[in-house]
Amino acid sequence: MRQLSILIPSRNEMFLAKTIENILENIEGDTEIIAGFDGQWADPPVVDNPRVTLVYYPESIGQRAMTNQLCRLSKAKYVMKVDAHCAFDKGFDVKMMAEMHDDWTMIPTMKNLHAFDWVCQKCGERRYQGPSGVCEKCGGDTKMDVLWRAKPSPQSNFYRFDNSLHFQYWKAFEKRPEGQGDICETMSIQGSCFMLTRKKYWELDICSEEFSSWGQQGVEVACKTWLSGGRLVVNRKTWYAHMFRTQGGDFGFPYPQSGSEVDKNRQYSRDLFQGDKWPKAKHTFQWLIDKFAPIPDWHDQEKSNKGIIFYTDNQLNLKIAHQVQKQLKSIGLPIVSASLKPMDFGKNIHLPLERGYLSMFKQILAALESSTAEIVFFCEHDVLYHPSHFEFTPPKKDVFYYNENVWKLNAETGQALHYDCKQVSGICVYRETAIKHYRKRVDMVEKNGFSMKMGFEPGTHNRPERVDDLTSEVWKSEFPNIDIRHDNNLSPTRWKKEEFRNQKFTEGWIESDEIPGWGKGKDILS
């Protein structure tokens, strides 16, 4: 009898053969692979190997159903479900099994997989994995160069779900005592790789077909493991690297993506687990929440008093705009957006105005007045905000606080630049303080017009033209925000020190092609 069966459900996966090849190169135990083709074969085809069993269904049955069918073919003690676009550590299988207990579900550390680059056949320019297309530099044809290597960062070990049961990364857990050591408990998982005994797989119905094909896999595995009396752990002695799908292009989702179906799965999870209706539960759902307390969104009273105000002129490149909005949604704070065109983002306020300084001030004021948060973060449409930015809490109620940990990223070249600066896009402040300031600011500009001498950044100077006598202080988040500089910014960017008349404004100057915590500038843009 085999020790481990690796189950790979797939549908039209271009990297399935490469994933299987990588697994075969790195397994060291009595391990087999059982891969399923759900309605479509893989291209390129999988090479025949005695350790690999292939199952084909001419009509798609769905990811969960396919995973169950593969598990029915297994006779091994352990089963591991993995996605069809992953790479693995040497001996990952024996490293996992050496630490396993019969009532555990285990995951390895997750890295990001750098699967391929597009290489121009004319000029040799390389472009990080994404949709195919001609070379952005010279217009020449490009060819895929498969690299298949794990990126050194980021590395993910801990995960959770918010109070709507939406998946979240939980990097901050690494700083807690429970986050120390090689084998650690995690509240939830990402879903692309997990191991448990085959007996527990069926006992817990770990991949229930009561859910629709896609969505909530990590929440289901986590809740069923914990609530049944088991443990969900990460084994940091080994790793796998997962390729995240590009948006559109050549490597999209193999199943139709329906937001309503994913929402149905999330509602089903809430009813089943949060509603304490799962019949095999030995613990209540509240037991799980209390076990990992404090959890952002569940226990953090400070966070419940925080909110985001978002303002946009609706003229930004949509690729940038959508990614910024997606990142902000993942933070989990309530959002009030003020826009010059109607949009579906948070609680939206539409102001039919022309783009300009006064319009921006009015948008900020409208969002402030519509928010119910005690503490607000100013968020702009072309800034990527890191989750650590929102961990800050202002110690004083009448001071504007600026996050100076921000990098400017050239949207055309990928050039990255940091210097210590106060930007409106980095403000955190008590809402009532901001409302008083912006009411006065709007009134002054309506009466006298905008003057650069009054400044954009509240509390940063003492010129006679200032709006009020409020002051400002600074902080730096653990990881930076990224201010994307493009051809339609309201304010210009200075990329050289000599462009500053006063060199005191260039303190902390760093030029790089890589941003801490994010990676290379060109990769971020991709």
How does DSSP assign 412-481, residue by residue? Answer: TT--EEE-----GGGEEEEHHHHHHHHHHHHHHHHHH---GGG-SSTTS---TT-S-S-EEEEE--SS-E
**Per-residue pLDDT, 448:** 92
User: Do residues 194 and 232 touch, judged by C-beta distance below 8 A?
Assistant: no
Closest to 133 in 3D by CA, of 249, 246, 44: 249
**Per-residue pLDDT, 491:** 62
Q: In angstroms, how far is the first alpha carbon of the chain from the final one?
A: 45
User: Do residues 93 and 27 touch, judged by C-beta distance below 8 A?
Assistant: yes
Question: Using the 8-state DSSP alphabet, how is residue 236 labeled?
Answer: E
Orientation of helix 357-370 relative to helix 431-448, angle to 10° = 150
What span, in angstroms and rounded, lies between the C-alpha atoms of 80 and 53?
15
**Strand pairing partners for 481?**
406
Query: For the chain, which domains are there?
Result: 4-245+254-291 (3.90.550.10), 301-525 (3.90.550)
What span, in angstroms and rounded, lies between the C-alpha atoms of 141 and 333?
43
- Measure Cα distances from 472 to 364, 424, 434 in Å: 18, 12, 12
| Residue 507, SS3 per DSSP | coil
Q: Residue-wise pLDDT tens for the chain (526 aa)?
A: 789 999 999 988 889 999 999 999 999 999 999 999 998 888 888 989 999 999 999 999 999 999 999 999 999 999 999 999 999 999 999 999 999 999 999 999 999 999 999 999 999 999 888 778 899 889 999 999 999 999 998 899 999 998 888 889 999 899 888 999 999 999 999 999 999 999 999 999 999 999 887 778 999 999 999 999 999 999 999 999 999 865 445 666 666 655 567 778 888 998 999 999 999 999 999 899 889 988 887 865 545 689 999 999 998 888 888 989 989 988 888 999 999 999 989 999 999 999 999 999 999 999 999 998 999 999 999 999 999 899 888 989 999 999 999 998 887 777 888 888 889 999 999 999 999 999 999 999 999 999 889 988 999 988 999 999 999 999 888 889 999 887 655 566 666 666 666 666 667 788 887 888 888 877 777 6
| Burial (0-12, 13-18, 19+ Cβ within 10 Å), 326 | exposed
| Burial (0-12, 13-18, 19+ Cβ within 10 Å), 59 | exposed
- Measure Cα distances from 501 to 190, 498, 504 in Å: 49, 7, 9
User: Do residues 76 and 198 touch, judged by C-beta distance below 8 A?
Assistant: yes
**Per-residue pLDDT, 1:** 74
Cis peptide bond upstream of 154, omega within 30 = yes
User: Do residues 211 and 278 touch, judged by C-beta distance below 8 A?
Assistant: no
pTM of the model: 0.61
- Measure Cα distances from 415 to 482, 485, 523 in Å: 12, 10, 11
Structure-block tokens of residue 74 = 């297994």
CA torsion through residues 95, 96, 101, 106, sign = positive
Q: State the DSSP H helix or E strand holding residue 383, giving kind and residue range, or none if neither.
A: strand 383-384
User: Do residues 253 and 307 touch, judged by C-beta distance below 8 A?
Assistant: no
Instruction: Find the DSSP H helices in 317-370.
Output: 318-331, 357-370
Q: Please name the residues in contact with 170: beta carbons below 8 A apart, sequence gap of 6 or more.
A: 158, 159, 160, 186, 187, 296
What are the backbone angles phi and psi of residue 368, rounded to the nearest 5°? -60, -45
